[in-house]
Amino acid sequence: MIVQLLGTVDIAESLRPLGEYAGFFLGILGVFWFIFAAYEANRRKSWRKLTKIDDWDFDITKFLKILTFGGFIVGILAIIIGTVGLILNVPPSIAYSSQTKTEEVHVFTSVFLIILGILTFLKPMNDLPIASIAGILVASTICVLLFMLIPDKAVTFIAEYINPKVLLISIFLIIFAIVAITVKFYIEGLMILSKIISWPPFAIIIGIICFAQSFALVVLGTSIF
């Protein structure tokens, strides 16, 4: 138990440098949220009429959509950085530490990173077939494990009644259907939240806050909150 705890501490300490980039990472989040706003504004016809932009270049919109998928990775990193800052009491930037003469965490920044990380992680759910992806991943994993773990004698026995390949394909399809339906049922609430945070004005406001707080922490060594 002690060894495991020491190992956990070592892992946490190795992540300490990430906490010092909290202010900088807020700027990256700001970029992503402006990208979200641009993509959603282009996709929604009502927003096109409001902005009087009828048609945007297809390559640009396709590029924006690809970048939104990066929200999964950026969201996870934001959660990690915010958590590291809170647990290890790490200041959000070198400038903030020098200006305030403190080595303590800025609680608002860390909490904001965690919350925004969760929202950034959820945002692409409105654009990806999550239920299908989850079904494919789970079904594929189980089929691979069955293929690796079932002994040859069992395969030979099964082959007398049914083609093993047909059996594996059948198992894959059944598991895929069950998982996809189950996930789709349980993520309806998250999908509603994803649609809410996809509203362009909301994304723009979040992006502005991120940029303002990032500039204050990294350049001015202070906080807007």
Digit-coded pLDDT (tens) for 73-113: 888 889 889 888 888 888 898 889 888 888 888 889 999 99
pLDDT value for 17: 81
pLDDT value for 131: 62
Q: Is the pLDDT score of 203 beyond 90?
A: no
pLDDT value for 132: 65
Q: What is the largest CA-CA distance in the chain?
A: 76
Least confident of 21-30, 128-137, 165-174: 128-137
Higher pLDDT, 143 or 113: 113
Give the mean pLDDT of the chain.
76
